[in-house]
């Protein structure tokens, strides 16, 4: 596995006990981390943090990303604006497993408000242990390669 694949980009608009716990867990698992936003005294506005993490993943500087904001929704929306990012807001381990298996999600988004540290460990375990279901590669490609106008007009996959 390449060094970039072993690197996870982690960003948040706040530094909290949850962000600290996730960073510690990823470090314990041997991942190299690149920190963004409030986690490294960078620009902590959530749209900026999400873009920076998304760009790191999209350009291959990191194999995956983890993002936090109060609800997790904002960073998920913002990260998904970066071509090549498939960000998923996950509140439990099964959602994380499905996001990886069926969507090849590459950026995990977590809510600072609703995610407890123990649940975050379970979510990370599922996220990191799950690969893509080979039967979903065609669907993933449709999403990845779709032009926004084609999706809106209902021509996806046509």
**C-beta separation of 8 from 26 below 8 A:** yes
Pairing of strands 7-12, 32-37: parallel
Catalytic residues: 69
**C-beta separation of 19 from 110 below 8 A:** no
Q: Which two tokens stand for residue 91?
A: 């509140």
Within-domain flag for 2: no
Number of structural domains in the chain: 1
| Cβ-based neighbours of 83, under 8 Å, separated by 6 or more | 58
Within-domain flag for 158: no
Q: Which two tokens stand for residue 19?
A: 């962000």
Domain of residue 76 covers 7-152
Within-domain flag for 157: no
Q: Which of 43, 37, 45, 42 is nearest to 19 (CA)?
A: 37
Tens of pLDDT, residue by residue, the chain (158 residues)? 677 669 999 999 999 999 999 999 999 999 999 999 999 998 999 999 999 999 999 999 999 999 999 999 999 999 999 999 999 999 999 999 999 999 999 999 999 999 999 999 999 999 999 999 999 998 888 888 775 545 556 655 54
Instruction: Residue 15: give its domain's CATH number.
Output: 3.40.1400.10
Q: Phi, psi (5° rounding) for residue 111?
A: -85, 125
């Amino acid at each position: 596995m390449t060094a970039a694949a072993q690197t996870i980009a982690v960003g948040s608009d706040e530094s909290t006990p949850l962000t600290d716990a996730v960073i510690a867990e990823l470090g314990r698992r041997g991942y190299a981390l690149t920190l963004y936003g409030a986690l490294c005294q960078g620009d902590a506005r959530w749209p900026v943090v999400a873009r920076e993490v998304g760009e790191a993943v999209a350009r291959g500087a990191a194999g995956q990303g983890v993002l936090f904001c109060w609800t997790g929704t904002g960073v998920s929306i913002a990260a998904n604006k970066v071509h090549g990012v498939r960000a998923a807001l996950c509140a439990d381990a099964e959602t994380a497993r499905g996001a990886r298996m069926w969507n090849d999600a590459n950026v995990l988004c977590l809510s600072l408000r609703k995610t407890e540290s123990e649940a975050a460990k379970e979510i990370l375990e599922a996220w990191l242990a799950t690969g893509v279901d080979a039967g979903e590669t065609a669907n993933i490609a449709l999403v990845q390669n779709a032009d926004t106008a084609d999706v809106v007009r209902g021509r996806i996959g046509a």
